[in-house]
Structures are given as structure tokens and as C-alpha cells.
A = this chain, B = another copy of it.
Amino acid sequence: MPMILYELCGRDPERVFSPHCWKARMALAHKGLAYETRPTPFTKIPEIAAGFSKTVPVLDDDGTLVRESFDIALHLERTFPDRPSLFGGPGGEAMARFVERWTQFGVQGPLMRLIVADIHSVLDDENQRYFRESREARLGARLEDVQAGREDRLAAFRETLRPLREMLAMQPFIGGDGPLFPDYIVFGALQWARVVSPFKLLADDDPVATWFGRLLALHDGLAAKAKAAA
């Protein structure tokens, strides 16, 4: 039975935008594994596998259910050890956790505030209601007010990417000569923005933009082909 990946989508089921789902997608592609996608809006997540998870991605590997993108990557690494490694050994598995926490709090947090109203705009009516209510409670402000003035926060956002930018002067991927799961972790955040928002995040001559382009092209252009914002 092929694997099934439950992924977050907007009004258009082809607009798959969650950063965490992109990590899982890229991990499956890295391992060369076929899977069926099940685009799922926020409000349908509780229906996946009888309420197995409050979040997506959820991977159904022939009846074995796995939630959380990092745990999905670990599951694939353990289950398919002879396919290309996602971590490059135990040290890589451990250090990828650091990259993940850096991305979550250092990158995705500020990025959310640049695109949150754009996320809302790609959802259907029911999911717009859910998203506005839950996110405005969390952020303590209207989505549009959070996003407003994002041009003024762009330089600070680009500065948060400096460790990656400096590293890219030394090697082409976080994984070294080729991509590993931590590349997909950071990629997921930027692809999230690319899919929902027309806001230009990176200068064209930014080494991070060049690296992002390399990631978009991987695996037969899997991520490049995805429906993106105009």
C-alpha cells in the first residue's frame, strides 16, 4: 500500500502551504518514496484517522501512523536505512533538532507576522473563521494589523537568516555538499511564505535566495511546481 501524507491546504486543495508539511514532503522525496497526498483544511484535521493528531502532517505508512514532521523524518530514516540518509548519522539527528528550534523560534515566529493575513486569504470561509479566531487570540491583534507595516520589518527578518547566510559561504547546504533534513526544515518556512504570499522576502542576490532556488529545483522540481502566490 502506498504511503499517505495528510497535508494542510487552502481553499484550493492544490495550495499546500504548511511549513511542516513541506518538510515531510521533501523528506519523502529525498528517500525516493511514492505517496498519496490528502490535502486537508484546518477544520478537517480532527477527522484524520479518528482524531489521531491535532496537527498535520500525519503520515500513514501502511497503517503505522506518525505525526510531527521531525518524527516522520526519523520514521523514514529508520524504516528505509538503505535509501539516501536524511541525517547523515546520529550527530546529524541530534543537531537537526537545534536547527529545528532555531527555525521555529528564530525564523518562523517573525515570518508569521509578515504573512499572517496572506495565509488567511488562501483559506475557505469556514477555515478563515477558524484561523482568524484562533490566531487573533494568540497574537492579541487583528491579522491585518499584525501584518501591516511589514516592509519596515523586512530588514530585521533578513538579519535573522544571517547564520544560514554566513554558513552558505562555507558549504552549499546545511547538510554539507548535499541537502539533509535540516535544509528541508528551513526551506519549509520559506516555502510556506512562497505559497501563500506575494511579499518578496529575499533580495535576489542573497545567498539564502540562491540556496532556496537549489531546494526548489530538487527532486524534479517538486517544490518549484507547487502552486505559489502571484
Contacts and interface: CB of A to CB of B under 8 A. Distances in A.
Interface of A: 85, 87-102, 104-106, 162-164, 166-167, 170-171, 173-177, 180, 182
Contact of A162 (B89, B94, B105, B167): B105
B98 A176 contact: no
A39 to B, nearest CB: 29
A98 B162 contact: no
Nearest to A173: B94
A94 B167 CA distance: 10
B174 A94 contact: yes
Contacts of A167: 97-98, 100-101
A179 to B, nearest CB: 10
A156 to B, nearest CB: 13
13 contacts: A87-B91, A88-B89, A88-B90, A88-B91, A89-B90, A90-B176, A91-B96, A94-B171, A94-B174, A94-B176, A94-B180, A102-B102, A102-B163
Nearest to A102: B163
Among A104, A173, A176, chain B packs the most CB atoms within 10 A around the CB of A176
A85 to B, nearest CB: 7
Contacts of A102: 102, 163
A228 to B, nearest CB: 26
Contacts of A85: 91
Nearest to A70: B170
A197 to B, nearest CB: 24
B106 A163 contact: yes
Contact of A180 (B88, B91, B100, B163): B91
